Structure 1
Amino acid sequence: MLQPIVVGVDGSRESVAAVDWAARDALRRARPLRIVHAQEVVPQQDEPTVLPELRVPQYWARRVLCGALDRVSERYSQVYVSAEQIARPPIPALVAAAEEAELLVLGSQGFGGPGGRLAGSVAMAVVGQAGRPVVLVRAGYTAGDERLPAAGGRPAECAPYRDVAVAVDLSHACASLLEFAFQEAERRHAILRVIHAWHPPTLRTFPAQAQQDAEWVLASSLEPWRDKYPEVTVRARAVEGRPTHHVLELADAAGLLVIGRETHRPPIGGHLGRVAHAAIHHVQCPVAVVAHG
């Protein structure tokens, strides 16, 4: 059985953009799409005695799910889509749904955005705990934004995809991160841009030698993936300094940014590093967070 693409919805503009992105990704991957709305249900007694205000969350959940389902059916008729209400708190429900999915997609409000609850603290908590890749999508991000400007009067959907960008920290195992990034570039027939930020190991290290060493380590790490995905054009750079600035700069022209999250995490909640936090809060394109060792 094919694992679905799962998208969480809450009725916000961010979740609408997430639904659209997830539907397009389901087409790219030839996977079914599962739309979920998670909400803890207050125990009820006999239906006739239930207060009207207690029924409001149920009506809202149905409306959100039906709206998302209708949207996908209208715009992406080739996608096999289902919708489900999960009677659990959002964070554990979405983390559990991710384990049964190939990919989880959520809306992202970014820095200081007015988005829904699912696009804010809930999304951050899920990203920090999910074992499967999670893609965060900003409100208003469209199919046209995924592609380069069309030239010569061609339809926008025929234009090439924007680059896939990935930031790697070679001091950690990053096989799952690189495989995800190469696969995404291959599906889109897009250029893959890889960045690795390095620091001089000692004060006595000559900068030129340290740069050469970092480039050699990066090239060696990418070699098996280049062999596995020969159709993917790779542009790789090793850069000195803190990675956050370089990653944000790299993402400016990208259609997807891929970053890692260490699976080693504190006893309560998950762990997101500075680069992941900065990317989620400031990058405009979708951000894929991939758990790795």
Structure 2
Amino acid sequence: MSRTVTVGLDGSPESRAAAEWAAREAELRGLPLRLVHVWEPVPEPVAESVQLAPARQKHWSERIPGEAAARIRSRHPGVEVIVEPVPGRPMDVLPEVAKGTDLLVLGSRGLGGLRGFLVGSVGTSVIARTEMPVVLVRSVDRTGAGDAEESAGAAPAVAAYPPVVVGVDTERPDDTVITFAFEEAARRGAVLKAVHGWTLPAYYAYALPADPGLGTELSEQEAAALATVLRPWREKYPDVEVVEESRSGSAARHLVDAARDASLVVVGRRIRRSPFGARTGPVTHAVLHHAVAPVAVVAHD
């Protein structure tokens, strides 16, 4: 199958915002956009009771992606749009669909305030079962006015894209996650902000009052570790401006804070091939539910 950017579409405002973001991403990558509308066939007895004939089910399964495709073609005439209605359950179909694409894009509904965003059981399951990168796009208007489709991670018409943010674990850095972040920053001509959160070992707490310089020393060590991890990518992507942020405290909190001014946040997810449970890890889970920018989850071994 040829390379594509794929979006899961169900006709909701959330999925329409995801489709708009995915269209811009396809444009950046020079790839076709694949609109996959997953629809669950209504059992025949139920369909008969509500007078929902198979032909009518088929009509709606084609109308939703068809209307979305027409809207995207009018706004992004240079992007090839492929429409693909697929029967089945989204949490089963989308992981399979993702195997044949470069990137899978899904929508997420904003809950507002401290409650953050609703990823939902489908999104959580798809992310945890998909080994290709998955981007979750918010459907809220970050500016407080206008169409959510226009504001979901959109870049200004003239100014450069806002920064791309990536979470870096200096103890277990993963090449796949870091490479993805550098590639996204390079495509956008954006600054890459590498965020590293570290926790002060418990036993150091007793030594700090006696040696105030110890905290500074630890901060310098962590910053140096981050610089060491990123050095090969700085050399590989010399045109990408990199800002390194190494701070004590929760990595998730620092990433959520950095997301307020970001065009994309990149986090990792360790692949778990156990058939039981679906986990994304505590940092990725927190970022998915609270970061206001689109979040890319990159699976790695």
TM-score range, shorter chain: 0.7 to 0.9
Q: 1:61-90 CA distances to partner (integer Å, 9 max, x unpaired)?
A: 222111111111111111111111112211
| Of 132, 150, 156, the match for 1:142 | 150
1:64 paired residue number: 64
Deviations 1:2-54 (A, max 9, x none): 41000000111010111111111101000011100113335769xxx997324
Partners in 1 of 2:57 and 2:277 — Cα distance?
A: 27
Matched AA of 1:52:
Q
Mapping of residues 78-89 of structure 1, within 5 Å: 78-89=78-89
> Relative to structure 1, is the Cα distance of residues 111 and 278 closer, same or farther in structure 2, using a 3 angstrom cutoff?
farther
Give the 3-state SS of the residue equivalent to 1:71 in structure 2.
Answer: helix
Alpha-carbon contact 1:17-1:141 (below 8 Å) kept: yes
Q: How does 1:128-139 map to 2 (within 5 A)?
A: 128-139=128-139
How many pairs align? 279
Task: List aligned pairs for 1:214-293, cutoff 5 A.
Answer: 214-264=222-272, 266-293=274-301
What pairs with 1:111-122 in structure 2 (closer than 5 Å)? 111=111, 120-122=120-122
Report the CA distance shift for 1:144/1:246 in structure 2 as closer, same or farther (over 3 A): closer
Cα 1:85–1:256 shift into 2, 3 Å: same
Amino acid at match of 1:197: G
Structure 1 pair 96–157 and aligned structure 2 pair: CA distance change class (3 A): same
Indicate whether 1:28 and 2:28 are aligned.
yes
What is the deviation of 1:138?
Answer: 1.2
Structure 1 runs not aligned, ≥5 long: 148-155
1:35-184 to structure 2, matched below 5 A, reads 35-42=35-42, 52-55=51-54, 56-111=56-111, 120-139=120-139, 140-142=148-150, 146-147=154-155, 156-184=156-184
RMSD of equivalent CA atoms: 2.5
Corresponding residue for 2:192? 192
- Amino acid across the alignment from 1:160: A
Percent identity for Structure 1 against Structure 2: 39
Corresponding residue SS for 1:142: helix
1:162-197 CA deviation, whole Å, 9 max, x = no partner?
110111222324111100000000000000000111
Shift of 1:134: 0.6
Once the two structures are TM-superposed, the CA of residue 141 in structure 1 deviates from its matched residue by: 4.8
1:111 and 1:282 in contact (8 A); partners too: no
Q: Which moved more, 1:60-69 or 1:160-169?
A: 60-69
Structure 1 runs, 4 residues or longer, greater than 6 Å off = none
3-state SS of 1:53 partner: coil
* TM-score when normalising by structure 2: 0.85
Would the alpha carbon gap of residues 225 and 75 (structure 1) be closer, same or farther in structure 2, given more than 3 Å must change? same
| Alpha-carbon distance between aligned partners in 2 of 1:267 and 1:52, rounded to the nearest angstrom | 39
| Structure 2: gaps (5+ residues) | 140-147, 208-213
What is the TM-score of this pair, normalised by structure 1? 0.87
Compare 226-235 and 265-274 and name the one that shifted more.
265-274
Query: What is the CA distance between 1:146 and its match in structure 2?
Result: 2.9
- Change in CA separation of 1:263 and 1:121 when aligned onto 2, cut-off 3 Å: same
1:151 aligned residue: none
> Structure 1: which amino acid aligns with 2:264?
L
Q: Distance in 2 between matches of 1:58 and 1:9?
A: 15
Deviations 1:118-162 (A, max 9, x none): 962211211111101111111115268533xxxxxxxx4121111
Identify which range, 262-271 or 280-289, moves more after superposition: 262-271
**Residues 129 and 269 of structure 1 are in contact (CA less than 8 Å); yes or no, is this contact kept in structure 2?**
no
The answer as to whether partners of 1:111 and 1:281 remain within 8 angstroms in 2 is no
Residues 125 and 281 of structure 1, relative CA distance in 2, 3 Å threshold: same
Shift of 1:201: 4.1
TM-fit CA distance, 1:268: 1.9
